[in-house]
């Protein structure tokens, strides 16, 4: 039993850090535009399948395949912003982005079926099929690699946003668009940057997770929803909350999986619903305080 | 420096400006006074490109800036200290100042460091609060930061919207002193001010707005003795 718990914890942290990575993408576009890309899961899928093509078909090293997946999904972020966000964000309260990003996700799924077929494809792990002993359990090295890269990336993004001039400018746009504009910051370009970062994070998540799941056209839907749950659960405007939310959801579903693997999704979402009923702004969401 | 002709701005069917002409000369303080909703803020926002202009012309040093994006206008050297400070509350005082110099970064770091020292000397409180979040400053300190942030780009023209808003009289005096100092340094300022007494005292030239039009204009001294201005805006 202890062995199972230990294994569930490591697997949960690795899946959870993928959720955290995707959810960080939701966070970046939400704070800058108030919109989310509901196709994040499909960007993850493209990252995985394009990575697979680079790694297996073209025989490139895994590191280059990661770079390729990140670049391609990042570029797709530019297109996404241009066709699905900018045209529908004319009004501040517009919610049309919900439909337009879902539409993009459907297009991507169908395109992926055309390009890569509908089957689940094995993504060979770059670290081999063996396991490493950590404590009592055998862990796939890929799982540890995922945790390290995903969490490292989440922290790197935060350092970029808080320390670099470009990141500060992006945060300024997020906080107050007009004030940022009169500073000479090109606001529309910062919005594009937000979608590029967000999409690239999902793409990175895809190529990281593919070796422990499978790569296929429909792989993105569930992680996209879970990452959304993590973002809401953690508090959409709080990057640390989102990180913790992602990890908690990852670990919880693996723990529930020990009890009954058919019920793990259901129980996980039930738990999130209960948590939100108690704290509607999320785990670490800002409680709105009105100053008079 | 800046000339505005026949400026019209509308929000949907509501016209905020109905044909305004004004001129801001280099090295002077040009003040716009008037009651709430007279169109003062709209005039500044039209100049900095934040609201679309429906008709008219805006020229900076003879060159039309109409239809330019706000960031392009900022790059030409127009700084806008927005109404209600509009600081980046979740960033530090120093980062707010850095963002004020965004048009000079990253290529002109040495100059920006110099300007930052200059502004820290002008507003010593900012030096002490340098690493605090802008949102944690008092109202007066926030206004100082907003002005300093506007000055960080070394602008040709500063648009200043209601710097006295919500501040204690002593702080208002401090701000007036700073504006006077800026004028002595040769800065060109367009000042929108609800407190007409402050504006008339500081300004070389004053425009009185009413319902989106210019009702009166003249030098500060002329208008301060105008009976209508006295009655309507100076409470006497």
B70-92 tens-digit pLDDT = 999 999 999 999 999 999 999 99
**Token match 């808080």: residue?**
A162
Instruction: Examine residue A270 and state whether it is found in any structural domain, yes or no.
Output: no
Task: Determine whether the interchain pair A168/B50 forms a contact, defined as Cβ–Cβ distance below 8 Å.
Answer: no
> Looking at residue A292, what is its pLDDT?
45
> Looking at residue B168, what is its pLDDT?
93
Identify the CA nearest to A220 among candidates A73, A83, A97. Answer: A73
**Contact predicate A185/B99, CB 8 Å:** yes
Give chain A positions within 8 Å (CB) of B102.
Answer: 165, 169, 183-185
pLDDT class for B169, splitting at 50, 70, 90?
A: very high
Q: Is residue A165 within 8 angstroms of chain B, CB to CB?
A: yes
> Looking at residue A92, what is its pLDDT?
67
Give chain B positions within 8 Å (CB) of A172.
Answer: 88, 91, 99
**Contact predicate A45/A220, CB 8 Å:** yes
Shortest Cα distance, chain B CAs vs residue A30, angstroms: 16
Measured CA to CA in angstroms, residue A280 lies from A226, A287, B22 at distances of: 17, 9, 51
Q: Mean pLDDT across the stretch B174-185?
A: 95
Measured CA to CA in angstroms, residue A1 lies from A133, A139, A141, A255, A263 at distances of: 17, 16, 22, 11, 19
Instruction: Examine residue A135 and state whether it is found in any structural domain, yes or no.
Output: yes
- Measured distance CA(B54)–CA(B46) in Å, rounded: 10
- Of A277 and B51, which is predicted with more confidence? B51
- Of B11 and A275, which is predicted with more confidence? B11
Count of domains forming chain A: 1
Task: Determine whether the interchain pair A165/B102 forms a contact, defined as Cβ–Cβ distance below 8 Å.
Answer: yes
Look at residue B113 and tell me whether its pLDDT is greater than 90: yes
SS3 category, A104: helix
pLDDT class for A43, splitting at 50, 70, 90?
A: very high
Which domains does chain B possess? 1-77+158-163+187-236 (3.40.50.300), 83-155 (no CATH)
pLDDT class for A291, splitting at 50, 70, 90?
A: very low
Instruction: List, in sequence order, every residue forming a beta bridge with B29; answer none if it has no partner.
Output: B189
Look at residue B190 and tell me whether its pLDDT is greater than 70: yes
Give the pLDDT confidence of A152-195 residue by residue, as tens digits: 999 999 999 999 999 999 999 999 999 999 999 999 999 999 99
Task: Determine whether the interchain pair A185/B89 forms a contact, defined as Cβ–Cβ distance below 8 Å.
Answer: no
> Looking at residue A283, what is its pLDDT?
72
SS3 category, B132: coil
**B51 preceded by a cis bond (ω within 30 of 0):** no
Which tokens hold the place of B87? 């600081």
> Looking at residue A285, what is its pLDDT?
66
- Measured distance CA(A280)–CA(A274) in Å, rounded: 10
**β-strand B157-161 against B188-192: which pairing, if any?**
parallel
> Looking at residue B124, what is its pLDDT?
96
Shortest Cα distance, chain A CAs vs residue B152, angstroms: 9
> Looking at residue A199, what is its pLDDT?
98
Q: Mean pLDDT across the stretch B165-182?
A: 94
Q: Mean pLDDT across the stretch A91-115?
A: 91
Instruction: Examine residue A242 and state whether it is found in any structural domain, yes or no.
Output: no
> Looking at residue B220, what is its pLDDT?
87
Longest pairwise C-alpha distance within chain A: 62
Instruction: Examine residue A160 and state whether it is found in any structural domain, yes or no.
Output: yes
Which domain, by its residues, includes A185?
Answer: 2-226
Find the angle CA(A202)-CA(A208)-CA(A212) to the nearest 5 degrees.
Answer: 125
- Measured distance CA(B73)–CA(A227) in Å, rounded: 40
Instruction: Examine residue A285 and state whether it is found in any structural domain, yes or no.
Output: no
> Looking at residue B236, what is its pLDDT?
58
> Looking at residue A131, what is its pLDDT?
87
pLDDT class for A114, splitting at 50, 70, 90?
A: very high
- Measured distance CA(A151)–CA(A227) in Å, rounded: 14
Q: Is residue A290 within 8 angstroms of chain B, CB to CB?
A: no
Highest mean pLDDT among A6-15, A261-270, B148-157: B148-157
What residue in B sits closest to A180 (Cα-Cα)?
B99
Give the pLDDT confidence of A17-37 residue by residue, as tens digits: 999 999 999 999 999 999 999
> Looking at residue B122, what is its pLDDT?
96
Q: Mean pLDDT across the stretch B178-187?
A: 96
Lowest mean pLDDT segment, chosen from A268-282, B49-63, B112-126: A268-282
Instruction: Examine residue A247 and state whether it is found in any structural domain, yes or no.
Output: no
Give chain A positions within 8 Å (CB) of B90.
Answer: 171, 175
Task: Determine whether the interchain pair A168/B49 forms a contact, defined as Cβ–Cβ distance below 8 Å.
Answer: no
Q: In chain A, pLDDT over 70 holds for what percent of residues?
A: 97
Exposed/middle/buried for residue A85 (C-beta within 10 Å: 0-12, 13-18, 19+) = buried
Q: Mean pLDDT across the stretch A98-116?
A: 96
- Measured distance CA(B35)–CA(B128) in Å, rounded: 37
Q: Mean pLDDT across the stretch A90-115?
A: 91
- Among B80, B88, B106, select the one facing A182 at the smallest CB separation: B80
Instruction: List, in sequence order, every residue forming a beta bridge with B210; answer none if it has no partner.
Output: B213
Find the angle CA(A252)-CA(A254)-CA(A257) to the nearest 5 degrees.
Answer: 110
Lowest mean pLDDT segment, chosen from A40-54, A224-238, B138-152: A224-238
Q: Is residue A259 within 8 angstroms of chain B, CB to CB?
A: no
| Dihedral angle over CA of B202, B207, B208, B210, nearest 10 | -140
- Measured distance CA(B160)–CA(B151) in Å, rounded: 11
Phi, psi of B124 (to 5 degrees): -60, -25
Identify the CA nearest to A141 among candidates A47, A8, A14, A1. Answer: A14
- Among B50, B90, B103, select the one facing A175 at the smallest CB separation: B90
Instruction: Examine residue A256 and state whether it is found in any structural domain, yes or no.
Output: no
- Edge to edge, the sheet with strand B55-60 lists B14-24, B2-11, B55-60, B63-64
Instruction: Examine residue A265 and state whether it is found in any structural domain, yes or no.
Output: no
- Measured distance CA(B131)–CA(B140) in Å, rounded: 17
């Amino acid at each position: 039993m202890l062995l199972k718990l230990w294994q569930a914890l490591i697997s949960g942290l690795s899946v959870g850090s993928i959720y955290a990575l995707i959810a960080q993408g939701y966070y970046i576009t939400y704070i800058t535009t108030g919109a989310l890309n509901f196709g994040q899961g499909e960007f993850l899928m493209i990252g995985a399948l394009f990575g697979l093509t680079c790694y297996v078909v073209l025989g490139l090293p895994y590191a280059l395949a990661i770079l390729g997946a990140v670049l391609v999904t990042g570029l797709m972020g530019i297109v996404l912003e241009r066709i699905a966000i900018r045209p529908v964000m004319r009004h501040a309260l517009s919610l049309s982005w919900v439909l337009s990003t879902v539409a993009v996700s459907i297009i991507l799924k169908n395109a992926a079926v055309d390009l890569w077929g509908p089957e689940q494809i094995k993504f060979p792990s770059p670290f081999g099929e063996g396991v490493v002993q950590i404590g009592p359990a055998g862990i796939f090295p890929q799982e540890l690699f995922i945790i390290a890269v995903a969490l490292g990336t989440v922290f790197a993004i935060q350092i970029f946003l808080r320390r670099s001039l470009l990141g500060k400018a992006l945060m300024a746009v997020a906080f107050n668009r007009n004030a940022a504009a009169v500073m000479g910051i090109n606001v529309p370009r910062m919005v594009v940057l937000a979608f590029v970062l967000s999409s690239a994070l999902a793409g990175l998540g895809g190529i990281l997770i593919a070796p422990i799941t499978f790569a296929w056209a429909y792989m993105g839907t569930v992680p996209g929803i879970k990452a959304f749950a993590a973002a809401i659960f953690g508090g959409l405007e709080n990057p640390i909350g989102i990180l913790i939310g992602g990890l908690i959801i990852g670990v919880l579903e693996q723990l529930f999986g020990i009890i009954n693997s058919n019920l793990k999704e259901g129980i996980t979402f039930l738990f999130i619903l209960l948590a939100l009923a108690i704290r509607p702004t999320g785990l670490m969401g800002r409680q709105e305080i009105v100053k008079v | 420096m800046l000339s505005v002709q026949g400026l019209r701005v509308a929000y949907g069917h509501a016209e905020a400006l109905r044909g305004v002409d004004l001129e801001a000369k280099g090295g002077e303080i040009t003040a716009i006074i008037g009651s709430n909703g007279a169109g003062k803020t709209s005039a500044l926002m039209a100049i900095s490109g934040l609201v679309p202009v429906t008709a008219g012309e805006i020229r900076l040093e003879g060159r039309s800036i109409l239809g330019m994006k706000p960031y392009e206008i900022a790059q030409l050297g127009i700084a806008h200290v927005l109404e209600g400070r509009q600081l980046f509350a979740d960033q530090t005082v120093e980062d707010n100042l850095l963002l004020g110099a965004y048009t000079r970064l990253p290529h002109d770091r040495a100059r920006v460091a110099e300007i930052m020292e200059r502004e820290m000397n002008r507003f010593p409180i900012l030096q002490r609060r340098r690493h605090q979040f802008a949102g944690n400053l008092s109202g007066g300190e926030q206004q100082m930061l907003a002005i300093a942030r506007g000055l960080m780009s070394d602008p040709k023209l500063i648009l200043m919207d209601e710097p006295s808003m919500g501040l204690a009289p002593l702080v208002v005096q401090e701000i007036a002193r700073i504006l006077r100092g800026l004028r002595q340094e040769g800065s060109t300022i367009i000042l929108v001010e609800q407190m007409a007494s402050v504006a008339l005292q500081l300004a070389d030239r004053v425009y009185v707005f009413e319902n989106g039009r210019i009702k009166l204009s003249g030098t500060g001294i002329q208008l301060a003795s105008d009976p209508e201005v006295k009655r309507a805006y100076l409470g006497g």
